[in-house]
């Protein structure tokens, strides 16, 4: 894509001598930086960083913020949290005995991988002050590979010892044996002003304030040319002038100065002032009273003494409206300035629609990760925990007891434990204090293939409703460049709302604000509290914002920005702090909040990239790592906002000495993990890459080095996975070549028989015989042996022996002596896997006279038309101390007609025909393709990348090396062709073939070579279904529905319409009644009601009763109508007359 631009640029320079600088030599092997980045950061570093931040820093802050619990009953009583820490994961084997655990043990035993949360507290017991250390208050599920995980910093060998795959990215949780991912949530950034058009075309400025305590939304809106403030705690929209007055800015002049003294602004604002005058509000007190009358009545009557409306209004103004703007001692100066700015923005936007902000702009978005979501959850639970302690204290302290009241005895740890576990396992995030309720926050980690697991870790979920049909949030935003993968998004309803991170994206965690504020003031920012409205809105100054709060103003904003960037590059301030000037707003924005997307870039100084070839050499020698590049200020992170304030060159040739500030490390990193698999994606039509992103996740292959130790509900593996012949840098970086999902098939692009239409593929039977596309399907069977309340328990019996033959019955044929199926045995449909029986009475205490309780058989039975083999059996115990038995069942499948395959270019197809080797075409070398693909798949799909992959793969075979199909790079077609020629092949990749059937040469040359094909999880064996007759639903007596219930195939409404249209009435009767739920009923022709065995109960006669056949569902309908007091009467007419 860049090539033409390149030349233009070069020409540009030549024509313009001023621009002519020394040509910049491209830095070779620059991609090693990406690899260095990934070795330091890992693919899911965002999750792990955010969780680490939560567990090590934020949890302390949360506890600190809620450190004291007091009681109303005793003013001297208190509990104070001194410290909190999260330990390393362990399991409680018995009461007070715990041992350290590994993630894999938790997976196998259905446990939760969690660590104790312990606190140090100080509290009063009677009149004593007591300190207790390491008190357990709950358990925290631990993210794999986080700082508290046992896997952190372990070598490959140590990981192998713990049954863990070294390539597993971590970043997920194990809850009740299930791997759960907390998806990255995308939302609008908080505490920022957004000017937008509302539905009626009016302009409004919205701020969603969010602090630890409060969350509120404040709007400044325009109504009839006047400005109002809208807030959810206020009943009506309040004129802004009144708000200003309530904030203590009483003078009209002051108000106008704050908003701006430009003519057009005064003009627009005048009516608002007038309105305020009309309402007769001139003083702060009047304004507050007015506000007080407009507050919403609280629903709950709080015990606190009732405040006067004025006080209440002031409180509301201080804490609820624009909650994030600090108000100390009711000094509203900052808040007033902020409100004024909101009004000013609205006025500006009214004059000039260009000023309206773009909601979908990625600089206005923040990503919420596991850490911050868990922090929300934990804070809520912790608050509830403390509230409960308080309630217990209130209740118990007044009581006089022998033992002194000791709060520690009342601390229940299971509330926090269960709260966290429940949230993660269901994905329902209910935060009471914010009235927040979100569903589907977590998902089960899909282990279909390595790629699907990786892809899930980089997934970004948008909060936007899926049902709404707006294109804005779904379309690709230019500001997503390099941050989010442009290809990887699902099709259909979630299209564009579910996104994936690009390869080098990093998500920031929060950085302490205080040092930044100090630094800003030192550089010359003037505090806004000390300035009047006129100075703030002066033309000579820029306003400085930090995380959405006004810091002050500065005259020389360029100096501020420059110094900040310098400090950041030299490491004096955190590398993730971003600063940029917004000229339209005349503002400098500094951000240090968490959840911003950012990405590393090479810094360019005076037209020269700071990273030199020598640095790369040092990197390759291992004397330098990615952190060194950051420390030395050669590379820095830019977030979306700052990225858009920089001039970034795509490669060295684009560098303009006057403008360029940064250089892209490698363009292929703009794609994500899934799109990185596609070779030559820049030659493909874009939707094809998107399709491949979806399909790569369904491909079978290796899922991890520990796959044989796993007992998953469903696992697909292929027998002989291969690394692709045409690799890409991404493939190597994410280790796809070590955990591949596919095989290199020799493909001939030609038509063959008629069984290859509509993308069907022809497979070579000999290839299949030799193991091509062979796959293993693992399933598990699980039972628990419980102990019941009445001291009875489940048991397993050995196989039932036939009395005559002395052999086990067929059903129990595969059971071992212990009653569990033996490994290696073949389990057929309806054979017993675990011969479990359960006591009939489990609740009431059993009769002590009865020696043996009665048992009922509840065997675990194998179901499935195709037999499976028992691979292994695990007997263990789970968290409830019950026996847990897991069986791993295995099927080996060879490809058959109808199995789905796909190349890496979104070209899927099913097997149409399997052909004997002798019928396959062969070429001069005796090569016989594994697969034949119809050429009609190409013109409309325009997957040129596939053609190049074939060519490069062929050359790679001959040369004995892997070619690269890296995006925006990779092996060139011309070089590849030259290689083919060198080995005596046609340069176009087309060979002379003979028909295997006639033996004569084919008229055309056949484009043939290896293409990497994935076998997808959709296989005929799991889908094929037919039924002659079978089970029926109990209620309606109609055939059941669905393959799993051996259901019938429905003749639906539209099919029915066809038959009606055709006039095939007998056919209709047969399909809809006779073959379904025909039922003989007696009908009394006199009363029209149903009769029974020839006798009408309502007429008390059998005179005119006749038998007819109707659908059972029809009879049911009549009876149900009767039960609702509607009498359907049947009138029978002899159709002969």
Partner 1 sequence: MDVIEEGRSRVILKENGVLNATACDYPGSYTFDDTWSHEKFKKIFSVQIVKWNEREMEFDLIGIHAAIANAFRRLLLSEVPSMAIEKVFVYNNTSLLQDEVLAHRLGLIPLKADPRLFEYRQPGDEDGTEQDTLEFQLKVKCTWNTNAPKDSTNPDDIYKDHKIYTRHMKWLPIGSQGDIYKAKDVGPVHDDILISKMRPGHELDLKLHVVKGIGKDHAKFSPVATAFYRLLPEIILTRDVEDEQAERLQKCFSPGVIGIEESKHGKKKAKVLDARYDTCSRNVFRYEDLKDAVKMGRIKNHFICK
Shortest distance in whole angstroms from residue 993 CB to partner 1: 9
- Residue 286 in contact with residue 280, Cβ under 8 Å? yes
> Segment near partner 1 (CB under 8 A), from 191-199, 307-315, 549-557, 925-933?
925-933
Shortest distance in whole angstroms from residue 747 CB to partner 1: 18
Coil, strand or helix at 450: helix
As a whole number of Å, the CA-based R_g of the chain is: 36
Residue 376 CA to residue 384 CA, distance in Å, equals: 12
Coil, strand or helix at 262: coil
Residue that is written with structure tokens 């970034």 in the block: 648
Residue 461 φ/ψ, nearest 5 degrees: -105, 135
Residue 1079 CA to residue 748 CA, distance in Å, equals: 58
Residue 543 pairs in a beta bridge with 553, 587
The single residue among 864, 996, 1088, 1128 that binds partner 1, judged by CB under 8 A, is 996
The single residue among 32, 774, 905, 946 that binds partner 1, judged by CB under 8 A, is 774
Shortest distance in whole angstroms from residue 925 CB to partner 1: 8
Which two three-digit tokens encode residue 1003?
Answer: 């008229």
x-or-dash pattern for partner 1, window 800-839, by CB under 8 A? ------------------------x---------------
The single residue among 788, 855, 1005, 1079 that binds partner 1, judged by CB under 8 A, is 1005
Residue 444 or 958 with smaller CB distance to partner 1: 958
Residue 868 CA to residue 355 CA, distance in Å, equals: 66
Q: Does 770 bind partner 1 (CB under 8 A)?
A: yes
- Residue 1011, CA atoms < 13 Å, CB-side half-sphere: 32
Shortest distance in whole angstroms from residue 751 CB to partner 1: 15
The single residue among 766, 913, 1020, 1114 that binds partner 1, judged by CB under 8 A, is 766
Residue 434 or 1005 with smaller CB distance to partner 1: 1005
Shortest distance in whole angstroms from residue 562 CB to partner 1: 55
315 is a catalytic site residue: no
Residue 844 or 998 with smaller CB distance to partner 1: 998
> Segment near partner 1 (CB under 8 A), from 237-245, 731-739, 920-928, 1041-1049?
920-928
HEC readout, 908-958: EEEEEEEECHHHCCEECCCCCCCEEECHHHCCCCCEHHHHHHHHHHHHHHH
Q: DSSP string of 960-994? A: TS-EE--TT-S--HHHHHHHHHHTT--TTSEE-EE
Sign of CA dihedral 525, 531, 535, 537: positive
- Cα 548 versus chain centre, distance: 27
CA distances to 221, 399, 841, 1002 from 198, rounded to whole Å, are: 9, 59, 64, 67
Shortest distance in whole angstroms from residue 978 CB to partner 1: 10
Sign of CA dihedral 587, 588, 593, 598: positive
The single residue among 5, 26, 351, 771 that binds partner 1, judged by CB under 8 A, is 771
Shortest distance in whole angstroms from residue 770 CB to partner 1: 6
Sign of CA dihedral 995, 996, 1000, 1005: positive
The single residue among 408, 757, 1004, 1060 that binds partner 1, judged by CB under 8 A, is 1004
Q: Does 6 bind partner 1 (CB under 8 A)?
A: no
319, burial (CB in 10 Å: exposed 0-12, middle 13-18, buried 19+): middle
Residue that is written with structure tokens 């009839």 in the block: 224
The single residue among 155, 297, 852, 1003 that binds partner 1, judged by CB under 8 A, is 1003
Shortest distance in whole angstroms from residue 705 CB to partner 1: 12
Residue 680 or 922 with smaller CB distance to partner 1: 922
What pairing do the DSSP bridges indicate for beta strands 459-462 and 184-188? parallel
Footprint (CB under 8 A) of partner 1, residues 706-765: 708, 719, 765
Residue 496 or 996 with smaller CB distance to partner 1: 996
Residue 29 or 916 with smaller CB distance to partner 1: 916
Residue 649 φ/ψ, nearest 5 degrees: -90, 135
Residue that is written with structure tokens 């000229």 in the block: 583
Footprint (CB under 8 A) of partner 1, residues 884-913: 890, 892
Residue 149 or 1006 with smaller CB distance to partner 1: 1006
Residue that is written with structure tokens 């950041």 in the block: 568
Shortest distance in whole angstroms from residue 774 CB to partner 1: 7
Shortest distance in whole angstroms from residue 766 CB to partner 1: 4
Q: DSSP string of 277-295? A: HHTT--SHHHHHHHHHHHB
Who's near 339: CB < 8 A, 6+ residues apart? 220, 229, 240, 243, 244, 247, 322
The single residue among 924, 975, 1022, 1120 that binds partner 1, judged by CB under 8 A, is 924
Residue 641 CA to residue 660 CA, distance in Å, equals: 17
Residue 568 or 774 with smaller CB distance to partner 1: 774
Catalytic residue among 74, 90, 556, 759: 759
Residue that is written with structure tokens 């070398």 in the block: 925
x-or-dash pattern for partner 1, window 692-711, by CB under 8 A? ----------------x---
Residue 557 CA to residue 563 CA, distance in Å, equals: 10
Which two three-digit tokens encode residue 863?
Answer: 């179901």
Could you count the other beta carbons within 10 Å of the beta carbon of residue 876?
Answer: 13
Residue 451 or 932 with smaller CB distance to partner 1: 932
x-or-dash pattern for partner 1, window 963-992, by CB under 8 A? ------------------x--xxxx----x
Q: Does 769 bind partner 1 (CB under 8 A)?
A: yes
Residue 981 or 1074 with smaller CB distance to partner 1: 981
Shortest distance in whole angstroms from residue 992 CB to partner 1: 5
> Segment near partner 1 (CB under 8 A), from 328-336, 593-601, 962-970, 994-1002?
994-1002
Residue 708 or 961 with smaller CB distance to partner 1: 708
Q: Does 3 bind partner 1 (CB under 8 A)?
A: no
* Residue count (the chain): 1137
Residue 612 or 708 with smaller CB distance to partner 1: 708
Residue 523 φ/ψ, nearest 5 degrees: -75, -20
Residue 324 CA to residue 200 CA, distance in Å, equals: 29
> Segment near partner 1 (CB under 8 A), from 35-43, 1003-1011, 1090-1098, 1109-1117?
1003-1011
Q: Determine the size of the site formed for partner 1 (CB under 8 A).
A: 39
The single residue among 788, 968, 994, 1079 that binds partner 1, judged by CB under 8 A, is 994
Residue 473 CA to residue 464 CA, distance in Å, equals: 8
> Segment near partner 1 (CB under 8 A), from 2-10, 743-751, 794-802, 919-927?
919-927
Shortest distance in whole angstroms from residue 510 CB to partner 1: 45
Query: Could you give the angle at the alpha carbon of 570 between the alpha carbons of 658 and 557, nearest 5°?
Result: 55
Shortest distance in whole angstroms from residue 883 CB to partner 1: 24
Q: Does 776 bind partner 1 (CB under 8 A)?
A: yes
Residue 755 or 994 with smaller CB distance to partner 1: 994
Q: Does 998 bind partner 1 (CB under 8 A)?
A: yes
Coil, strand or helix at 885: strand
410-413 contacts, C-beta under 8 A, 24 or more apart: 411/135, 411/137, 411/385, 412/388, 413/136, 413/137, 413/138, 413/139
Footprint (CB under 8 A) of partner 1, residues 859-878: 869, 871
> Segment near partner 1 (CB under 8 A), from 41-49, 256-264, 316-324, 996-1004?
996-1004
Q: Does 155 bind partner 1 (CB under 8 A)?
A: no
Q: Which residues are catalytic?
A: 759
Give the residues lining the site for partner 1 (CB under 8 A): 708, 719, 765-766, 769-771, 774, 776, 824, 869, 871, 890, 892, 916-918, 922, 924-926, 928, 981, 984-987, 992, 994, 996-1005
């Amino acid at each position: 894509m860049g090539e033409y631009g390149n030349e233009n640029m070069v020409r540009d320079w030549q024509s313009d001598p001023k621009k002519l600088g020394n040509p910049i030599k491209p830095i070779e092997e620059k991609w090693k930086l990406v690899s260095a980045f990934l070795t330091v950061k890992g693919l899911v570093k965002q999750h792990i960083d955010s969780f680490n931040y939560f567990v090590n820093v934020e949890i302390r802050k949360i506890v600190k913020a809620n450190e004291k619990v007091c009681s109303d009953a005793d003013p001297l009583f208190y509990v104070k949290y001194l410290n909190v820490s999260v330990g390393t994961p362990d399991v409680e084997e018995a009461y007070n005995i715990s041992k350290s655990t590994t993630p894999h043990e938790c997976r196998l035993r259905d446990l939760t991988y969690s660590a104790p949360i312990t606190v140090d507290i100080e509290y009063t017991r009677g009149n004593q002050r007591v300190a207790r250390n390491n008190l357990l208050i709950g358990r925290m599920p631990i993210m794999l590979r986080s700082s508290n995980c046992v896997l952190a910093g372990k070598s490959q060998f140590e990981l192998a010892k713990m049954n863990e795959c070294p390539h597993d990215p971590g970043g997920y949780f194990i809850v009740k044996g299930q791997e759960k991912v907390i998806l990255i949530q995308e939302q609008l950034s908080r505490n920022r002003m957004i000017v937008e058009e509302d539905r009626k075309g009016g302009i409004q400025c919205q701020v969603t304030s969010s602090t630890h305590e409060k969350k509120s939304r404040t709007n400044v809106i325009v109504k009839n040319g006047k400005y109002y403030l809208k807030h959810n705690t206020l009943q009506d929209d309040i004129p802004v002038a009144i708000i200003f007055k309530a904030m203590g800015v009483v003078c009209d002049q002051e108000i106008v100065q704050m908003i701006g003294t430009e003519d057009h602004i005064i003009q627009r604002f005048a009516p608002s002032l007038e309105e305020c005058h009309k309402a007769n509000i001139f003083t702060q007190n009047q304004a507050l009273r007015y506000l007080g009358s407009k507050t919403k009545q609280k629903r709950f009557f709080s015990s606190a003494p009732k405040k006067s409306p004025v006080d209440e209004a002031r409180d509301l103004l201080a804490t609820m409206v624009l909650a994030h703007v600090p108000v100390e001692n009711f000094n509203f100066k900052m808040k007033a300035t902020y409100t004024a700015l909101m009004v000013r923005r609205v006025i500006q936007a009214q004059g000039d629609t260009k000023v309206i902000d773009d909601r979908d702009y990625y600089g206005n978005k923040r990503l919420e990760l596991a850490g911050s979501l868990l922090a929300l959850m934990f804070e809520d639970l912790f608050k509830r925990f403390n509230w409960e302690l308080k309630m217990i204290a209130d209740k118990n302290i007044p009581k006089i007891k022998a033992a002194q009241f000791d709060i520690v005895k009342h601390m229940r740890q299971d509330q926090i434990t269960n709260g966290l576990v429940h949230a993660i396992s269901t994905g329902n995030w209910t935060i009471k204090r914010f009235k927040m309720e979100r569903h589907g926050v977590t998902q089960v980690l899909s282990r279909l293939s390595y790629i699907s697991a990786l892809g899930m870790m980089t997934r970004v979920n948008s909060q936007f409703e899926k049902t709404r049909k707006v294109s804005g949030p779904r379309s690709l935003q230019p500001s997503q460049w390099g941050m989010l993968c442009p290809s990887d998004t699902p099709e259909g309803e979630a299209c564009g709302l579910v996104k994936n991170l690009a390869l080098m994206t990093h998500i920031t965690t929060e950085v302490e604000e205080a040092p930044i504020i100090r630094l800003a003031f030192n550089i010359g920012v003037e505090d806004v509290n000390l300035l009047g409205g006129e100075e703030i809105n002066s033309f000579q100054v820029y306003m400085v914002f930090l995380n959405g709060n006004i810091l002050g103003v500065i005259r020389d904003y360029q100096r501020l920005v420059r110094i900040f960037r310098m400090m950041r590059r030299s490491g004096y301030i955190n590398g993730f702090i971003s600063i940029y000037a917004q000229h339209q707003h005349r503002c400098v924005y500094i951000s240090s909040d968490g959840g911003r997307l950012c990405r590393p870039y090479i810094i360019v100084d005076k037209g020269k990239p700071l990273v030199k070839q020598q640095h790369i050499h040092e990197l390759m020698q291992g004397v330098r790592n990615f952190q060194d590049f950051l420390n030395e200020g050669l590379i820095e992170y830019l977030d979306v906002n700052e990225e858009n304030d920089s001039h970034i060159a795509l490669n060295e040739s684009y560098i303009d000495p006057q403008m360029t500030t940064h250089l892209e490390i490698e363009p292929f990193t703009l794609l994500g993990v899934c799109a990185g698999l596609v070779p030559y994606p820049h030659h493909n039509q874009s939707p094809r890459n998107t399709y491949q992103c979806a399909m790569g996740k369904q491909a079978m292959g290796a899922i991890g080095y520990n796959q044989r130790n796993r007992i998953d509900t469903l696992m697909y593996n292929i027998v002989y996975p291969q690394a692709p012949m045409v690799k890409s840098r991404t493939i190597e970086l994410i280790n796809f070549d070590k955990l591949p999902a596919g095989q290199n098939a020799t493909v001939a692009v030609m038509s063959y028989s008629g069984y290859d239409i509509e993308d069907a593929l022809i497979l070579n039977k000999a290839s299949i015989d030799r193991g091509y596309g062979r796959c293993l399907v693992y399933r598990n069977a699980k039972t628990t042996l419980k102990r019941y309340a009445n001291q009875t328990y489940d048991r397993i019996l050995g196989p039932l022996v036939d009395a005559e033959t002395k052999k086990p019955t067929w059903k129990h044929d595969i059971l071992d002596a212990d009653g569990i199926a033996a490994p290696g045995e073949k389990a057929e449909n309806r054979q017993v896997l675990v011969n479990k029986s359960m006591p009939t009475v489990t609740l009431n205490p059993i009769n002590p006279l009865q020696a043996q309780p009665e048992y009922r058989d509840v065997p675990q039975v194998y179901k499935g038309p195709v037999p499976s083999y028992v691979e292994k059996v695990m007997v263990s115990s789970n968290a409830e101390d019950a026996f847990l038995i897991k069986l791993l069942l295995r099927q080996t499948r060879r490809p058959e007609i109808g199995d789905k395959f796909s190349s890496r270019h979104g070209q899927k197809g099913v097997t149409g025909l399997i052909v004997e080797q002798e019928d396959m075409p062969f070429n001069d070398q005796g090569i016989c393709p594994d697969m034949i693909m119809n050429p009609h798949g190409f013109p409309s799909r325009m997957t040129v990348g596939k053609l190049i992959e074939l060519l490069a793969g062929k050359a790679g075979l001959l040369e004995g090396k892997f070619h690269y199909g890296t995006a925006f790079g990779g092996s060139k077609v011309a070089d590849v062709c030259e290689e083919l020629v060198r080995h005596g092949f046609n340069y176009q990749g087309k060979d002379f073939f003979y028909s295997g059937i006639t033996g004569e040469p084919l008229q055309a040359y056949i484009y043939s070579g290896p293409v990497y094909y994935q076998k997808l999880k959709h296989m005929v064996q799991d889908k094929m279904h037919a039924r002659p007759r079978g089970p029926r639903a109990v209620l309606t007596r109609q055939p059941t529905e669905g393959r799993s219930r051996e259901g019938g195939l429905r003749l639906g409404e539209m099919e029915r319409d066809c038959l009606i249209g055709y006039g095939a009435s007998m056919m209709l009767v047969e399909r809809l009644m006779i073959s379904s739920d025909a039922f003989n009923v007696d009908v009394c022709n006199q009363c029209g009601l149903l009769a029974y065995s020839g006798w009408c109960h309502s007429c008390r006669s059998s005179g005119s009763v006749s038998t007819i056949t109707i659908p059972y569902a029809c009879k049911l309908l009549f009876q149900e109508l009767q039960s609702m007091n509607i009498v359907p009467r049947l009138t029978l007419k002899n159709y002969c007359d």
